[in-house]
Structure 1
Amino acid sequence: MDAYWIPIRTALAVFPLLAAFLTFPYMIYQYRRYGAIPFLRTVILYSFLLYLLCMYFLVILPLPSIEAVAGQTGPTVQLLPFQFVRDFIRETKLDVMNPKTYLPALTQNCFLQVICNMVMFLPLGMYLRYYFRCGWGKTAVISFLVSLFFEFTQLSGLYGIYPRGYRLFDVDDLMLNTWGGMLGYAAAPLLAKLLPSREQLDQRAYLKGRAVTFCRRFAAFLLDWLLIGILLIMCMIAVPFLLPALIVVPGIIYALVIAGYFILIPWATDGYTPGKWICRIRITGKNERKPALYQYALRYGLLYFVLIPLPVIWVCGYIFEICTGYRERPRLLLHERISRTECVSTVGTITKDKQKHEKIWLLPA
């Protein structure tokens, strides 16, 4: 059992690190595509990621020492199809006429290895059909290619780390893995009876994406400030180089970058900053009218020159706003109320002319 438990335990240890690394890109994609991050969709996708990790570590672990692999002299490939049948007949004492030999034969390693090779790929076929909506042929091809990747990983000695392959490249594994994927494809309708369909998941996501949540706004905020950080660094380097006689004042550069990025860009693009555009958020005025330039200046002047620089005002003001306006729609914060602007979702608001260019469902108003 250690041969299986060690890879699974390693996958469980690596999964949180990989998930943390992929979470922000995943959030951005979901906000851009649907405007929301539904819980069930996230569980399905992250369970698929964990499953792939478990498969990969089951293939490569446990790792032998380089010295032990260098001393191996056995074959590295097995290209004879259905060799597992010959091994089963040779290594077991199965007697078709004697039922007492059935159970001992089915518990032999040569038989259990065949079953494990198929079972390992069974979830892959289920994921491909249920969530990724792959057909029979596509599922077979993907299952084969994934198995081929694993076999070449072993044949290459873990991409050249070892002097030779430390596990056998077996053509039977390619067949058994592919069959396992196809069994998963056949069993996927059972999973569909327990979970909503992919279409239902998409519809729920689009419906949820019509509201602009604080988490979505924060994702747009992080994207904007990633770009602003690059701009500030470039300005701090470029200005002394291009204008050496000019005294660089960080506060002035900060004010100019904020004014250009958060005031002029939204005013010129009808309410978008790059981060908000990616997350499908737009700034509007009262009754979704286009805000005037002074409204953008008031909105972001309050936010970045008053509320954020003064932590006490920021904390007290926003706690008050969240506590008193949490149930309001839309949830307007202090700088939004003063500037009479708000953030709205652009999910499902494209015109029919643009519908053919964007794969997004138009929802009823």
Structure 2
Amino acid sequence: MLTVLDAFVGQLGLGAVLALFALAAVTVPVLVVQYRRFGVVDRGRAAGAYLFAAYAAFVVALTLLPLPSPDDVVCVGRNLDPLAFVGAVRDDLADGRSLLSSPALFQLLYNVVMFVPGGVLLRRSFGWSLPRVLVAALLASAAIEAVQGSGILGLYDCAYRVLDVDDVLTNVSGALIGALLAPAVVLVPRPGHVAGRTGRSGPLRRATAASVDLLLVSIVGGSDPLLVGACLLLVFVAVPVLAGGATPGQHLVRAAVVQPDGRPAGRRALALRGVLISGPWFLVAVFAQWSGDRAAELPGLVVVAPLVVQAGLVAAVIGTATVRRDNRAPQDVLTGTELHVRERTGVRARRAGSGST
């Protein structure tokens, strides 16, 4: 039992690491979806999404990890007989084991408990109906068993974990228990009643848009300073000037650069604003390329300086927008502009329709 416990603790550690990566991967997409769907961030829905991402990471760790060395793989069979666990528990008892020390019963409860949080989250944080939760649990469990039974999709010559139909039954049972308990689990956030907002954009919306824009630049531009510079000009200058005063990231979060009175910003102001943003980033990219090519000759602080400068630029923009009452960043102040929230199309259409009657 100690060996099983040690393995379980090790899997939890792997799950924690995976959860951190999962949260990093979904942070911006969740915010973008919130802004697109609701115009604001619903804290209950967002928190539920982050909790579910972390939970899914733990499920992956508990069901598929750690991956063994190919030389250490021991091929196992499969169980396609429903309720075979009943006989396994009976055999454990016949061998003189107690219920508390029965490996078969431990495995049964393990599979039930593992899917309880999923049922709670889907029912409470996402508002899914009970049948929908059960179908999702069935599909997820079947997918896990298929991956296990195929030797991690052919990564190994044979399966090293048993494909067990009873696991699917117990997983779905756990999701059912979680869904039924969901109304009582008050610590899990519930979706709120959100209302779209207009006016000045807050720091979080601004940071989300900037994350999308800079990620786009880094993916397309890579490590080539000239290509990075071209991407910066495209994202922060050309697109806003030609497409309604918003970068790609700002379009996604329903924001646009305007004059303080809400009128569209002029092209000159948009171009200058874009240069003020892209110029420092381009200089940092050039310096990063130069220092990277000479990493063996330069002090370590010089090599990591570009990362420090990038962090400082982000902190300066977001920090200034946070502490100022008008939420304006340095580039807004210097160009006489502001970042405002755009109304959702449906809201704008309804307002226009009501005004015409």
TM-score by length of 1: 0.70
SS across alignment from 2:147:
helix
SS across alignment from 1:282:
strand
Partner of 2:263: 289
Partner of 1:172: 166
2:229 corresponds to 1:273: no
User: Which amino acid in structure 2 is aligned with residue 147 of structure 1?
Assistant: S
Change (3 A) 1:332 1:77: closer
- Residue segments in structure 2 that go unaligned for 5+ positions in a row: 285-311, 352-357
Change (3 A) 1:60 1:291: closer
| In 1: Cα distance, 2:319 partner to 2:61 partner | 46
Deviations 1:27-56 (A, max 9, x none): 443444445556655443333222222222
Partner of 1:212: 201
8 Å contact 2:70–2:156 — kept in the other structure?
A: yes
Partner of 2:194: 203
Partner of 2:89: 88
Partner of 2:142: 148
8 Å contact 1:128–1:134 — kept in the other structure?
A: yes
User: Which amino acid in structure 1 is aligned with residue 151 of structure 2?
Assistant: G
Change (3 A) 1:146 1:55: same
Alignment of 1:256-267 (within 5 A): 258=233, 265-267=239-241
8 Å contact 1:143–1:178 — kept in the other structure?
A: yes
User: How far apart are 1:126 and its partner, in Å?
Assistant: 1.0
8 Å contact 1:139–1:181 — kept in the other structure?
A: yes
Q: Which of the residues 149, 153, 168 maps onto 1:159?
A: 153
Change (3 A) 1:210 1:80: farther
Partner of 2:210: 221
8 Å contact 2:320–2:330 — kept in the other structure?
A: no
| In 1: Cα distance, 2:12 partner to 2:211 partner | 34
User: How far apart are 1:301 and its partner, in Å?
Assistant: 5.7
Alignment of 1:1-365 (within 5 A): 1-37=5-41, 41-69=45-73, 72=75, 76-93=77-94, 104-191=98-185, 193-198=186-191, 200=192, 203=194, 206=196, 211-225=200-214, 230=220, 258=233, 265-297=239-271, 299-300=273-274, 326-328=323-325, 330-348=326-344, 350-351=346-347, 353=349
| In 2: Cα distance, 1:58 partner to 1:320 partner | 41
User: Which amino acid in structure 2 is aligned with residue 90 of structure 1?
Assistant: D
Change (3 A) 1:285 1:84: same
User: How far apart are 1:306 and its partner, in Å?
Assistant: 9.6
User: Which amino acid in structure 2 is aligned with residue 86 of structure 1?
Assistant: G
> Considering only CA atoms, is the larger Rg found in Structure 1 or Structure 2?
1
Deviations 1:161-185 (A, max 9, x none): 3221122222211111111111111
Change (3 A) 1:347 1:4: farther
| In 2: Cα distance, 1:266 partner to 1:163 partner | 53
User: Which amino acid in structure 2 is aligned with residue 88 of structure 1?
Assistant: V
| In 2: Cα distance, 1:48 partner to 1:10 partner | 17
User: How far apart are 1:291 and its partner, in Å?
Assistant: 3.0
8 Å contact 2:203–2:321 — kept in the other structure?
A: no
Deviations 1:107-151 (A, max 9, x none): 422222211111111111111111222212211111111111121
User: How far apart are 1:338 and its partner, in Å?
Assistant: 5.0
| In 2: Cα distance, 1:234 partner to 1:321 partner | 27
Change (3 A) 1:65 1:224: closer
| In 2: Cα distance, 1:236 partner to 1:52 partner | 40
User: Which amino acid in structure 2 is aligned with residue 166 of structure 1?
Assistant: Y
Deviations 1:311-360 (A, max 9, x none): xxxx99x97997799342x23345434543211111557545379xxxxx
Change (3 A) 1:59 1:262: closer
SS across alignment from 1:132:
coil
User: Which amino acid in structure 1 is aligned with residue 21 of structure 2?
Assistant: L
| In 2: Cα distance, 1:61 partner to 1:305 partner | 45
TM-score by length of 2: 0.71
8 Å contact 2:45–2:189 — kept in the other structure?
A: no
SS across alignment from 1:133:
coil
Identical columns (%): 25
User: How far apart are 1:16 and its partner, in Å?
Assistant: 2.2
- Residue segments in structure 1 that go unaligned for 5+ positions in a row: 95-100, 238-249, 356-365
